[in-house]
Amino acid sequence: MTARALPWLLLLSSALAGCGDHSMSQQNRYGTFSKAGLFKDGTEAQALPQGVVAQGDLDRLEQITKPPEVDMALLARGRERYDIYCSPCHGFSGHGDGMIVQRCFPAPPSYHSARLRAADAQHFFDVITHGYGAMYSYAARVPPADRWAIVAYVRALQLSRYAPVAELSPELRQKLDKEATP
């Protein structure tokens, strides 16, 4: 054997050493719910240890249970998300007269009804999350932060129609009075 052939022989033997039955792409494993002698109960499906929290669950729980502070940026995001996900059925004004309803789909309730004006914010969040009646769940489509933004925008829509005059600034009341008088 020559000195030139030795490096090639070593390279070939190391390359062939990786071609066995136990490669990284075909590892031995247990199938789902198969018997496994490794564990005491004989099954591969093991319960999580006491107190284990999946990565990100605490943050997600906080997003779901604590609504963010309402500001103009949140309302703008809520309007954008509402226009995308909600307006096809609920309409741009929240009266339940969206394009889908105009195409003979059952109308959702108006956000301006007394029942929905009295509902708490969590109700709207839960309906977006789990669906209600003919409405399916948007949990997989709309992240929790955007759900809260939509809820804030729905509240703004409700307030736009039923804002108490007593809560308006004196300047806005004067403007309203000028527009009301012919």
Rounded Cα distance between 108 and 127, Å, is 12
Rounded Cα distance between 19 and 5, Å, is 22
CB atoms within 10 A of CB 30: 13
pLDDT at position 17 is 66
Query: What's the predicted TM-score (pTM) here?
Result: 0.66
> How large is the angle between the packed helices 144-162 and 121-130, nearest 10 degrees?
130
Rounded Cα distance between 50 and 52, Å, is 6
> How large is the angle between the packed helices 57-65 and 144-162, nearest 10 degrees?
0
Q: Which pLDDT tens digit goes with each residue over 130-172?
A: 999 999 999 999 999 999 999 999 999 999 888 788 888 888 8
Tell me whether residue 166 is in a domain.
Answer: yes
Residues in the chain where the model's pLDDT stays below 70: 1, 16-25, 182
Tell me whether residue 31 is in a domain.
Answer: no
Cβ neighbours of residue 34 closer than 8 Å, sequence gap 6 or more: 43, 44
pLDDT at position 20 is 59
Tell me whether residue 108 is in a domain.
Answer: yes
Cβ neighbours of residue 38 closer than 8 Å, sequence gap 6 or more: 44
pLDDT at position 46 is 78
Tell me whether residue 46 is in a domain.
Answer: no
CB atoms within 10 A of CB 76: 12
Domain harbouring 142, CATH code: 1.10.760.10
Tell me whether residue 92 is in a domain.
Answer: yes
Tell me whether residue 141 is in a domain.
Answer: yes
Long-range contacts of 62-65 (CB under 8 A, 24+ apart): 63/143, 63/144, 63/145, 63/148, 64/125, 64/129, 64/144
pLDDT at position 13 is 76
What are 73's two structure tokens?
Answer: 């940026």
Tell me whether residue 147 is in a domain.
Answer: yes
Tell me whether residue 28 is in a domain.
Answer: no
pLDDT at position 180 is 73
pLDDT at position 18 is 62
Query: What is the count of structural domains for the chain?
Result: 1
Q: Tell me the residue range of the domain where 134 lies.
A: 72-180
